[in-house]
Chains A and B, each alone.
Chain A
Amino acid sequence: MGTMRILDRTGDTAVTWDLDDESTIRAAEEIFEREAAQSKMAFARSVGAPVEEAERIRSFDPSAEEIIWVRPIQGG
């Protein structure tokens, strides 16, 4: 079971997938592509791991325990 956490006004929206359920993996992959198309950045980590263990990823990895999506940044 993996989870994507997409930062938003609710804190984050969670999307989960099950490695034994291909349909959930496909759905999660579609959401991954949708978020990537918005220039957001994805980071994979083990659940609860500190930032040092978070890894930038550019394609969907179903084996990831948790993927955190953050927004593009800009000068303020």
Chain B
Amino acid sequence: MIPSLRLVEDIPEWGTLVALVGGEHHGANVLLVPAARILPGDSRRHGSPPPERRRWRLIDDDLATREVARAEATRRAEALLDSLLDDQQRAQWRSRRGFWVPTPFGEVELGRISHLRFNGVDGTRLVLCVLPTRFSELPDADIWTNLLLVLHAEPLRFFGVANYRTPRGAWQSGPVPLALPRSAVD
């Protein structure tokens, strides 16, 4: 996990004191020093005494709490999605944050909001946009869990509500024009 940084205090002439939020060293304080203070030729490096420290500001506990909660939500959502994927999808998700889902009508790539690639069984190439309601509340991985389950169980519902466009075309309202599944043609 990549931690976030939370400002604790600006210390003039010294740098910026930040706290790590999330990750292995959550809660640790780190002093970020401007490069000009330590690069060769900076006369202030050895000359002037450090300034008197100001009183520390109160740490924004609410912000830290929210960040920790968000990190935990992301962890739960990632674990749930991971458990639903097959090995190939899991490898795709881990390497490029997207994975292909087969359906009777073709395959859909989940992982980019408003840009779901669809390769139809008849060679059609489209870009789809489908989202869970109030998706902005959800961690990213939950969005894809939501769409993965619906797409797998009820692909016609998925394609029925999707907006779509050709790779260079304008958006059109669903349902997506679908070719018959292979099983229906055979």
Contact = CB atoms under 8 A, between A and B. Distances in A.
A70 to B, nearest CB: 4
A11 B73 contact: yes
A54 B72 contact: no
Interface stretch (B7-15, B17-25, B42-50, B79-87): B79-87
A41 B161 CA distance: 15
A73 interface: yes
A7 B84 contact: no
Which of under 10, 10 to 19, 20 to 34, or 35 or more describes the interface residues of A? 20 to 34
B153 A54 contact: yes
Interface of A, helix, strand, loop or mixed by DSSP: strand
Interface stretch (B32-40, B51-59, B126-134): B126-134
Contacts of B148: 51
B146 interface: yes
B76 A41 contact: no
Which of under 10, 10 to 19, 20 to 34, or 35 or more describes the interface residues of B? 35 or more
Contacts of A72: 132-133
Given A7-B145, A68-B145, A76 B163 contact: yes
Contacts of A52: 86, 152
Given A11-B75, A73-B131, A50 B86 contact: yes
B129 A7 contact: no
Q: Which 8 A-B pairs have the closest CB atoms?
A: A11-B76, A76-B129, A75-B163, A71-B132, A11-B73, A70-B146, A76-B131, A11-B77
17 contacts: A8-B138, A9-B138, A11-B139, A11-B142, A49-B83, A51-B84, A52-B86, A54-B153, A55-B153, A68-B80, A71-B146, A73-B133, A74-B130, A74-B161, A75-B163, A75-B173, A76-B114
Given A11-B73, A73-B132, A74-B161, 8 more contacts: A8-B137, A11-B142, A52-B152, A54-B84, A70-B149, A71-B133, A73-B146, A76-B114
Interface of B: 69, 72-77, 80, 83-86, 113-114, 129-135, 137-139, 142, 145-150, 152-154, 157-158, 161-163, 173-174
